[in-house]
């Protein structure tokens, strides 16, 4: 298994029958907007491919709106994803905590630097 993030990939367009290129194994995933890299989802899972595909599924609607076509909240072209595959779910949880700690450390450094100026 990999010991780091994969490259950013665009979500495939379902009209063309493309598939999400992700393993059916445990790991950490991250989903963001391609335009501004705003993080929309981040977590660890038993099945990376399933977690990525469920993000695009539309939410539940009330019965009176069933005649409307169910649409995803986001267009597939505006989202990107990356993942960090691991051997076990336990390894994924450890990697997730490590990533969170690194990000918190960066935020603390940035806030300390901003406070000094």
Domains of the chain: 9-60+71-116 (3.40.1440.10)
Angstrom distance (rounded) from CA 45 to CA 28 = 6
- Residue 53's DSSP bridge partners are none
Tell me what pLDDT residue 115 has: 81
Least trusted range by pLDDT, from 4-8, 73-77, 82-86, 101-105: 73-77
Residues 6+ apart with CB under 8 A from 40: 31, 32, 33, 55, 74, 79
pLDDT tens-digit series, residues 12-32: 876 677 788 999 999 999 999
What is the per-residue pLDDT across 42-83, written as a single tens digit (0 to 9) for each? 999 999 999 998 887 765 555 544 455 445 566 667 899 999
Q: How far apart are CA 7 and CA 45, in angstroms?
A: 19
pTM for the whole structure: 0.76
Closest CA to 56 of 40, 35, 68: 40
């Amino acid at each position: 298994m990999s010991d780091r993030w994969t490259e950013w990939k665009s979500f495939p367009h379902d009209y063309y029958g493309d598939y999400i290129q992700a393993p059916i194994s445990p790991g950490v995933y991250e989903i963001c907007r391609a335009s501004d890299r705003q993080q929309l989802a981040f977590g660890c899972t038993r099945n990376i491919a399933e977690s990525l595909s469920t993000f695009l599924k539309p939410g539940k609607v009330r019965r009176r709106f069933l005649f409307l076509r169910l649409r995803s909240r986001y267009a597939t072209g505006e989202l990107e994803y990356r993942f960090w595959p691991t051997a076990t779910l336990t390894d994924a949880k450890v990697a997730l905590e490590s990533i969170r700690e690194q990000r918190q450390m960066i935020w603390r450094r940035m806030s300390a630097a901003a406070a000094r100026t």
